[in-house]
């Protein structure tokens, strides 16, 4: 419902990724975001292997950011395709980092946000 009534008006064409509605709260219970009466606002990015790559849980008074959701999805897709990693604030088209042992503890030297 959020996609049809809200996101489609905030994001041109709506979010172009599958979204799940949990009307009965069963999935919310599994993920710890269902309090027995109302789901809190949870979003989980699950990769094609079924691994949760990212999650965000917010209570209803704080809104979610669809641009950040899409940015994260694109970053995870890029990482899976290339093996590269995206530093904080990365946007599609920005430089990425190639993970190496030499990079550990030295990201600040090569990444200038």
pTM of the entire structure? 0.69
pLDDT in tens, 2-58: 677 777 787 777 777 777 777 788 888 888 777 776 656 778 888 889 898 998 888
SS (H, E, C) 82-111: HCCECCCCCCCCCCCECCCHHHCCCHHHHC
Burial class (CB in 10 A: 0-12, 13-18, 19+), 90: buried
Domains and CATH numbers, the chain: 2-82 (3.40.30.10), 86-113 (no CATH)
Which range scores top for mean pLDDT: 11-20, 66-75, 76-85, 97-106?
Answer: 76-85
The candidate with the shortest Cα–Cα distance to 15, out of 89, 71, 75, is: 71
Biggest alpha carbon–alpha carbon distance for the chain? 49
The candidate with the shortest Cα–Cα distance to 86, out of 39, 42, 53, 46, is: 53
Give DSSP secondary structure letters for 62-85. S---HHHHHHHHHHHHHHHHH--B
């Amino acid at each position: 419902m959020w996609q049809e009534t809200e996101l489609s008006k905030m994001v041109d064409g709506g979010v172009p990724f599958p979204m799940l509605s949990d009307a009965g709260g069963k999935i919310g219970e599994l993920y710890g975001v269902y309090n027995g009466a109302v789901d809190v606002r949870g979003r989980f990015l699950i990769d094609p292997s079924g691994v949760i790559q990212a999650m965000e849980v917010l209570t209803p008074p704080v809104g979610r950011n669809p641009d950040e959701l899409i940015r994260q999805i694109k970053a995870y897709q890029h990482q899976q395709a290339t093996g590269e990693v995206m530093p904080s604030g990365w946007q599609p088209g920005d430089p990425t980092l190639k993970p190496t042992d030499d990079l550990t503890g030295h990201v600040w030297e090569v990444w200038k946000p």
